[in-house]
Chains A and B, each alone.
Chain A
């Protein structure tokens, strides 16, 4: 069993839909990261959170430390949101343990 599990692995939705991607982890963490990888391969760090909730534009990330669960939400989804979203748990000072990613496709 992977230490960081994401669901779903693939998600296709229509433009405008509310999107939720889930991440569960079994390791003790100092922080939880959400990353975005576009088809060209570049990775952008979206959020780093250790408690509660963070919001950036149409993106919202939440974490429940007790349940070892985090969610990434996208409101009013747009085709440009199509990408692979990766959850990563930071163990200790720096090491990241990655989920397998969720491939999101938003159709116009």
Chain B
């Protein structure tokens, strides 16, 4: 596609429920990243996929968080048993490897998750 597409754009869920967030990267971008931005906080790295390599999961805050990337394209971030502290904007980005051009990364518009 022309850009990085994320869905849903907004999600309100009850505490304890599972949620799935989807990211569709730019076609041909082999690298895909998930970040989150809590209210009033900076961006926080969650996980990185590159090609067929094992993902870098070092930023996942707990074992309730998991992500997969199928066929080297679409990625799903799953949060199990959601907690109120999971409320944040979850951002996906993609890039070539290594990032090229003047810009490097293309970000999606994010999914705003609210846990009530």
Contacts and interface: CB of A to CB of B under 8 A. Distances in A.
Interface of A: 30-31, 33, 35, 40-48, 54, 56, 86, 88, 90, 93-101
Given A47-B102, A86-B43, A94 B56 contact: yes
A73 B9 CA distance: 32
B33 A94 contact: yes
Given A33-B104, A42-B107, A45-B103, A98 B48 contact: no
Interface residues on B, range: 20 to 34
A35 B97 CA distance: 19
B110 A48 contact: no
B102 A41 contact: no
Nearest to A97: B45
B92 to A, nearest CB: 10
B44 interface: yes
| A-B CB proximity, top 3 nearest | A48-B104, A43-B107, A45-B103
Contacts, number: 68
Nearest to A33: B104
A40 to B, nearest CB: 8
A41 B109 contact: yes
10 contacts: A31-B104, A33-B104, A35-B107, A41-B110, A44-B107, A46-B103, A54-B102, A90-B99, A94-B50, A96-B33
Contacts of B101: 48
A45 B44 CA distance: 16
B105 A100 contact: no
Contacts of B109: 40-42
B89 interface: yes
Contact of A31 (B43, B50, B99): B99
